[in-house]
Amino acid sequence: MLERLNQALDHLEECLDRDIDMADVARIGAMSEHHFRRLFSALAGMPLPVYVRRRRMTLAGAEVVAGKATLLDIAVRFGYGSGEAFARAFRSVHGIGPGEARRTGAVLTSQPRMSFRVVVEGSTAMRYRIVEKESFRVVGKKARVPLVHEGLNAAAVSHVESLDEQALVRMKELSGREPEGILSAAVYLTDSREEGAEADFWIGVATGPEAIAGEFDALDVPAGTWAVFDSHGLCPSALQDLWRDVFTLWFPSNSYVSRPGPELMRTRPVETGAETDIQLWIPVERNTTGAGA
């Protein structure tokens, strides 16, 4: 899969001076556009549109400094319909405008061309199972939180602490589907998995699709396939490590891709700094675009 992903990045590089059809790029990578965006973000640590803008502005910066073409000509070449839009994008990457960049001694920022390679990290086996699950409903309380790659997620912790014992008891009474008991669900608002990306974060239980939420918020989840991962370690670092390994190690080594849907997480006990059993549910589907494991 990494070879196909690098072929997709090669094609992306060839299209930096024109409109890019991300669906075509993803097809070269032998995966859906949804999975391509998510996998790139997880591997690269930045959303795909950010990488494209940085690469375009890296190439544009070299042309601006060379001084052989007008700024408007450079803007048009890299897909900007006006000098103002080009200047804004240029400044967002380089910290200065293109006019300033033509002055002697201007300092610019370069985004290197990206490629992915295999690093031998697979010495520890990952425990997983594939589950075909009927439609269900998550019933609980929702808050909007940022993604945190390492350490405590203060917003998520605050949301958990805002729930009183009576609410948790009522949720448990509604629990009727796997994964059993109190769980969390994350619905990301974009395909980005960079630090700070926003998600709707649920604390609740899995119930039947007919369950009445009452005082709680309800998230309806359609039937589909799930990859379920089990691990054990310190909370929350073990969960963050497991999530990273799923996207950087498991997906590139298996014939599944991610699909839209909530990511479900269950930890027992839920105590920061304590050893905990972890279960992570990721919505997946078979890769039908031609790239096998």
Domain boundaries, the chain: 2-101, 127-286
Domain 2-101 superfamily per CATH: Homeodomain-like (1.10.10.60)
3-state secondary structure of 111: coil
Q: What is the dihedral of CA 109, 110, 116, 122, to 10 degrees?
A: -40
3-state secondary structure of 169: helix
Task: Output the pLDDT for position 54.
Answer: 92
Whether residue 206 is predicted with pLDDT greater than 90 in this model: the reply is yes
Task: Output the pLDDT for position 112.
Answer: 87
**What tokens does 19 get?**
């409109």
Whether 228 contacts 281, CB under 8 Å = yes
Q: Does the model's pTM come out above 0.85?
A: no
State the average pLDDT over residues 174-185. 89
State the average pLDDT over residues 52-79. 91
Q: 7-16, 100-109, 276-285: which range is least confident on average?
A: 100-109
Whether residue 270 is predicted with pLDDT greater than 90 in this model: the reply is no
**What tokens does 273 get?**
């700094």
Whether residue 226 is predicted with pLDDT greater than 50 in this model: the reply is yes
Answer with the residue of higher pLDDT: 205 or 241: 205
> For 81-93, b where at least 16 C-beta lie within 10 A, e where not — what string?
eebeebbebbeeb
Q: How far is CA 109 from the centre of its chain?
A: 25
127-286 topology per CATH: Multidrug-efflux Transporter 1 Regulator Bmrr; Chain A (3.20.80)
**What tokens does 117 get?**
């390679």
State the average pLDDT over residues 251-268. 88
**Whose CA is closest to 9, among 34, 44, 58?**
44
Task: Output the pLDDT for position 120.
Answer: 46
**What tokens does 251 get?**
């997906």
Tell me the C-alpha distance between 71 and 64, whole Å: 7
Tell me the C-alpha distance between 24 and 28, whole Å: 6
DSSP 212: -
Task: Output the pLDDT for position 122.
Answer: 46
**What tokens does 95 get?**
């910290």
Q: How far is CA 111 from the centre of its chain?
A: 20
State the average pLDDT over residues 31-46. 87
Q: For the chain, give the number of residues.
A: 293
Whether residue 134 is predicted with pLDDT greater than 80 in this model: the reply is yes
Task: Output the pLDDT for position 146.
Answer: 87
For the chain, what is the mean pLDDT? Answer: 86
Q: Across the chain, where does the E strand assignment appear? A: 127-133, 136-146, 183-188, 198-207, 217-221, 224-234, 256-258, 263-268, 275-286
